[in-house]
Amino acid sequence: MEPINEAHVVEPGLAVVEIAACDDQTAFAVQELFATRWATAAANRTTRDPGQPGVRLRCYLDVRQTLGS
């Protein structure tokens, strides 16, 4: 994965979440759980690291913005 960009964590309430899972379906399910609660910049693809098990996905959260409140 690429290094975390400072702009994504420049102020309190912003977070970068990296998900490691056995497959794409699981990674996207976890991302969806975050998206049901907070404003989320969702990823549309996972990455695979050669020689490493599973897949990785990075999404960006703004936990200051709760949904449905």
Per-residue pLDDT of the chain (69 residues; tens, 9 = 90+): 577 777 666 789 999 999 999 999 999 999 999 999 999 999 999 999 899 999 999 999 999 987 765
- pLDDT for 5 equals 72
Grouping H, G, I as helix, E, B as strand and the rest as coil, residue 27 is helix
- pLDDT for 1 equals 57
List the end-to-end C-alpha distance of the chain, in Å, as a whole number.
Answer: 33
**pTM of the shown model:** 0.80
- pLDDT for 8 equals 63
> 46: how many CB neighbours lie within 10 A of its CB?
20
CA gap 22, 63 in Å, rounded:
26
